[in-house]
Amino acid sequence: MSAVWDYLFGSPAFLIFGTYTLMMIVGLGILLHLQLGVTGIGNFGVAGFWGAGLYAFGIMQVTYDVGFWPALLVATAAGGVLGLITGWVIADLDDDGVLAATLAVATIVYLAIDSEKDITGGRVGLGTIDFPFDVGDRTDLAWLAILFGVVGLLLWYARRVHRSPYGRLLIATGTNEPLARSLRKPVKRTKVGVMALTSAGMGALGGLYGPIVHFLFPTQLTVAITVSVITALVLGGQQRPLGAFVGALLTVGLFDIAIKLYVPLPKDLLEHAFPVTKQIIFGALLIFVLLFRPLGILGRMRRERHVKGLSRV
Amino acid sequence: MDFVAKAVIIGLTEQAPLVLAAMGMALIYNLSKVINVAFAETITLGAYFAQWVNVAFGASFYLSLAISGILAGVLSCVTYLLVFRTAERRGVGPVEVIIISLGLSVLLRYALQFVFGYEARFFETPPPTFMKLFGVGFTSFQLTAFILVVVLALLFYLFVQKTVWGRQVRALASDADLAKVSGINPLLTTLIMWFLAGAAGGLAGAFWGVGSSAKPGLGWDRFLLTLLVVLVGGARGLRGVILAGMGTGVLLSALKLEIAPLRAEIVLLVVFILVLKLRGNRFRELAKV
Amino acid sequence: MSEGNGSASGGRATIRISGLTKSFGDQTVVNIDELVLGAKPVEGLIGPNGAGKTTLMRLIMRSTKADTGSVILDDGSGEMVLSKLAPHRIASLGVVKTNQVTQDFAGLTIWDSLLLAVAQRHDERPHRIYRERHVRESHGEEIQSYLDLFEFSEPEGFAHSTGEKKLLDVIRCLLLKPKILLLDEPTAGLPDDVTAQVIDMLRTKVAEGMSVVIVEHDLDVIWGFSDIVHFMAEGDVILEGDPDYIRAHSTVVEKYLGSGHV
């Protein structure tokens, strides 16, 4: 029994770090679900909104020596303001324009961090960032619990949105904009609003990632993050709040936790072939799922259940 | 005057491949309304193909260039047949097609590392000749790229505007059903477009590659700028794309003469975003109320 | 917003159109000097294909933007220049249009679609995540009464047929409690008995004060339902009058009805 325990939890630091990553992807995936799966906004710059929060948090803590809560607030605001601006830009663009604009925003964030070295540390890095509390050995575990709580909260909110008039407005905006407009729905403002709100969430998640890595580098915000989030959400089911969770377990959970920790791969394989294979599989998953099962594992929204449930309340 | 001349010469010679790549992407965009993110990998593989032919067979850079263009064109057709045609037939929505092409992009970018290795690969070409005009230096490769872009742009333009094939392509782009009725073979016409597009992308990649090296991120790093040029210039056809591409090159080099390169890129992106916003790019309203 | 100089139509809202033009390429589709809609409770709008009926309605709703001209709403309490407003604002002022081509929200059930129509701006804020019950309680009965009136194959699920979607479109618009309802071929694709039901329901609403402007190819509906008929050809209203007058007019017969129709 204890052998099994040792095998599973023998290297807690790695397991905890893998779970951090998993939770980040799930959290970002839930927010992307609200943008893409519900409102139909294809945000390809997730890494940028998240990264803006991460660096805003780091800059506040390291460069300006600000406390945890104000720093987290600034991180959230950074994501939110960036989302607001992006929402304003994309509100009347079609999907190609949304792709270009969201990618451009993420690229600008990356370039700005790389360029403004005095504030961000550039490629040298920015650190160190510590946990806002210290409970000895298990501080990282406590942080993980907090992260679980935050992601749980996001999931709860997303599920509530599906059951609220707001969610219905978002779905209507995403599926038939002109018709929604003709029913006096302000679709532009709705899009700007949902982008600001969800991007603020991404910024907050970025802030919470700061203490995990202690040291920030621009290379942490490459397109790989965005691809992981999109893959998890698309595989699990973009229209369902739990989609990102299911998809992330099967992608990040499988590769970054199960295989990395429990399959004894040779070191050189782990360094090169393993991450490359992982990306190839992510890419192939995106293609196959969207071609042959576009709504992923969980399938379409179950609006009729909600309607039936309502007559009972 | 000196500043303008400098900006123009640097801009046109350094960013000539950008114009070429944007022309390729725009061909597909105008025909199928598909933004193909994996076009980035067509560019990357163009560089790898050229490098491979150049080093493995000792071919001259110019011969490698030609072969690389053909290979990239074939690759582009294969991706159309395997992925985009299937998507078309299954009626996949526009955002989903973009995500599919993103998946293809990631797949190709990493798969090519199993074939060509993880490290950057260098060309074995005699060092280019350096030239000077108005006190601005550039290499013979850059000059070739520029001349080739001018020639190809002219050929593409004549092809699309003046030949039977070109007319068929335009007919297919404006009304697919009508085009089919009037006896156009849509598959063949579409394949020709994807081939030309791929070839243009591959050549652009080869030119970028010979200037530095062939590496996995080569196309992706230049994808955003190419996409923006296509979206901003594409509404006015190939001519618009060529002008937007050249304009981008000149603006970027002008900015880089004045401010730090990274900041110049940021300013350029902000300008592009504002242009997109002001112009709006709603070509299609999904439903009419 | 200026005070209206006395609403012309005894409390009914009217739409005044002046100098309204719209061209696609070099083809002029709408070219109307002066036109008042809504003065009578039910106004028919007829004309040959391509006369510009649908485009006129879209210009009023601003889902298509006019080249020149103005559209002014006088709802008895004041005048509003519709041709300067965003489409969703026009709808919230009480000018609403049904659609000629079937429109629906993929993914929204029948109930969803109707609850969407009744939900107010303040119900739809992102933090109002427990607002559903309120919306349902304050509008559920009204929605149910419409659903009782018509037969949907699966009222708690999705609209399946084109007819059901068409019906849903009309009900959605009625739930907005419009002052002026523009109907663009509301009964196309509906069986005759349902058409009669729809017209009956509209009559009730008209009696309660709503004005209707209707474009319809089923001329029996026009002759039986309208108080006044506008005849449009080549982008302009060239004749106005009560149904019998229009029906017998030689120009209408010649340009539209054909000689065998009367």
Give tens-digit pLDDT for A198-207.
999 999 999 9
Cβ neighbours of C122 in A, within 8 Å: none
pLDDT interval class at C192 (50, 70, 90)? confident
Enter the tokens of residue C235: 């982008």
Report the residue of chain B nearest C97, measured CA to CA. Answer: B289
Enter the tokens of residue A204: 């907050």
Say what the pLDDT of residue C7 is.
42
CB within 8 Å of B134: residues ≥ 6 apart: B2, B5, B6, B9
Say what the pLDDT of residue B61 is.
84
pLDDT interval class at B165 (50, 70, 90)? confident
Residue A310 has pLDDT above 80, yes or no: no
pLDDT average, residue stretch C44-63: 91
Cross-chain CB nearest to A171 (options C105, C131, C176): C105
CA distance C224 to C145: 26
pLDDT interval class at A2 (50, 70, 90)? low
Ramachandran angles phi, psi of C162, nearest 5°: -60, -40
Cβ neighbours of B289 in C, within 8 Å: 58, 61, 63, 97, 99, 103
Say what the pLDDT of residue A1 is.
57
Enter the tokens of residue C206: 């008209």
Residue B223 has pLDDT above 90, yes or no: yes
pLDDT average, residue stretch A105-109: 97
Interchain contact, A178 vs B98, CB within 8 Å: no
Residue B136 has pLDDT above 90, yes or no: no
Cross-chain CB nearest to A168 (options C103, C116, C133): C116
- Percent of chain C past pLDDT 70, that is, above it, reads 94
Interchain contact, B106 vs A179, CB within 8 Å: no
Enter the tokens of residue C247: 């029906």
Name residue C237's beta-bridge partners: C232
Burial track B47-61 (b if 16+ CB lie within 10 A, e otherwise)? bbbbbbbbbeeebeb
SS3 for chain B is CHHHHHHHHHHHHHCHHHHHHHHHHHHHHHHHCCCCCCHHHHHHHHHHHHHHHHHHCCCCHHHHHHHHHHHHHHHHHHHHHHHHHHHHHCCCCHHHHHHHHHHHHHHHHHHHHHHHCCCCECCCCCCCCEEEECCEEEEHHHHHHHHHHHHHHHHHHHHHHHCHHHHHHHHHHHCHHHHHHCCCCHHHHHHHHHHHHHHHHHHHHHHHHHHCCECCCHHHHHHHHHHHHHHHHHHHHHHHHHHHHHHHHHHHHHHHHHCCHHHHHHHHHHHHHHHHHHHCCCCCCCCCC
C156 interfacial to chain A (CB closer than 8 Å): yes
CA distance B14 to B12: 6
Interchain contact, A178 vs C123, CB within 8 Å: no
- Report residue B140 CA to chain centroid gap: 21
Interchain contact, A183 vs C116, CB within 8 Å: yes
Residue A312 has pLDDT above 60, yes or no: no
A174, amino acid identity? G
Residue B175 has pLDDT above 90, yes or no: no
CA distance A212 to A50: 14
Residue C6 has pLDDT above 60, yes or no: no
C97 interfacial to chain B (CB closer than 8 Å): yes
Interchain contact, A294 vs B96, CB within 8 Å: yes
Give whole-number Cα distances, A193 to A97, A228, B73, C181, in Å.
18, 25, 43, 30
B99 interfacial to chain A (CB closer than 8 Å): yes
Say what the pLDDT of residue A313 is.
43
CA distance B184 to B243: 31
Enter the tokens of residue C62: 């601003």
CA distance A58 to A52: 10
Interchain contact, A165 vs C115, CB within 8 Å: yes
Enter the tokens of residue C120: 């107010």
Interchain contact, A279 vs B110, CB within 8 Å: yes
pLDDT interval class at A263 (50, 70, 90)? confident
pLDDT average, residue stretch A15-38: 95
Coil, strand or helix at A106: helix
Query: How many CB atoms lie under 10 A from the CB of residue C63?
Result: 20
Residue B40 has pLDDT above 90, yes or no: yes
Report the residue of chain B nearest A98, measured CA to CA. Answer: B95
pLDDT interval class at C124 (50, 70, 90)? very high
CB within 8 Å of B154: residues ≥ 6 apart: none
Report the residue of chain A nearest C171, measured CA to CA. Answer: A183
pLDDT greater at residue C120 or residue A266: C120
A304 interfacial to chain B (CB closer than 8 Å): no
Interchain contact, C121 vs A186, CB within 8 Å: yes
What integer best gives the mean pLDDT of chain A? 92
B289 interfacial to chain C (CB closer than 8 Å): yes
Neighbours of chain B (3+ CB pairs under 8 A): A, C
Residue A260: HSE in the Cβ half-sphere, 13 Å Cα cutoff: 22
CB within 8 Å of B124: residues ≥ 6 apart: B54, B55, B58
Residue A260 has pLDDT above 80, yes or no: yes
Give me the interface pTM, i.e. the ipTM: 0.93
pLDDT interval class at B172 (50, 70, 90)? confident
Least confident range of A166-175, B2-11, B213-222: B2-11
C6 interfacial to chain A (CB closer than 8 Å): no
Answer for the pair C87, C162: CB distance below 8 angstroms, yes or no. no
What integer best gives the mean pLDDT of chain B? 87
Cβ neighbours of A175 in C, within 8 Å: 105-108
Answer for the pair B26, B233: CB distance below 8 angstroms, yes or no. yes
Distance from CA of A52 to the nearest CA of C (A): 23
Chain B (228-267) residues lying within 8 Å, Cβ to Cβ, of chain A: 228, 231, 260, 262-263, 265-266
Interchain contact, C111 vs A178, CB within 8 Å: no
pLDDT average, residue stretch B273-279: 89
pLDDT greater at residue A169 or residue B124: A169
Determine if residue C107 is left, alpha or beta; phi over 0 gives left, psi from -120 to 50 gives alpha, anything else beta.
Answer: left
Say what the pLDDT of residue C4 is.
39
CB within 8 Å of B226: residues ≥ 6 apart: B18, B21, B22, B25, B39, B40, B43
Distance from CA of A185 to the nearest CA of C (A): 6
pLDDT interval class at A10 (50, 70, 90)? low
B74, amino acid identity? V
- Token look-up 């012309």 returns C8
Say what the pLDDT of residue C258 is.
66
Distance from CA of A240 to the nearest CA of C (A): 12
pLDDT average, residue stretch C117-145: 93
pLDDT average, residue stretch C196-210: 92
Residue C9 has pLDDT above 90, yes or no: no
Interchain contact, A307 vs C111, CB within 8 Å: yes
pLDDT interval class at A47 (50, 70, 90)? very high
Coil, strand or helix at C53: helix
Interchain contact, A42 vs B99, CB within 8 Å: yes
pLDDT interval class at B281 (50, 70, 90)? low
Residue C8 has pLDDT above 50, yes or no: no
Residue B209 has pLDDT above 80, yes or no: yes
Residue among C54, C55, C63 with most chain B CBs within 10 A, to mutate: C63
Residue C191: HSE in the Cβ half-sphere, 13 Å Cα cutoff: 6
Residue B267 has pLDDT above 90, yes or no: yes
Cross-chain CB nearest to A93 (options B105, B113, B276): B276
Say what the pLDDT of residue C5 is.
41
pLDDT average, residue stretch A213-227: 92
Distance from CA of A145 to the nearest CA of B (A): 33
Ramachandran angles phi, psi of B10, nearest 5°: -60, -45
Coil, strand or helix at C125: coil
Cβ neighbours of A279 in B, within 8 Å: 106-107, 109-110
Least confident range of A259-263, A277-281, C102-106: A259-263
Query: Which of A140, A111, A141, A116 lies closest to A126, judged by CA?
Result: A116
DSSP A61: I
B117 interfacial to chain A (CB closer than 8 Å): no
- Percent of chain B past pLDDT 70, that is, above it, reads 94
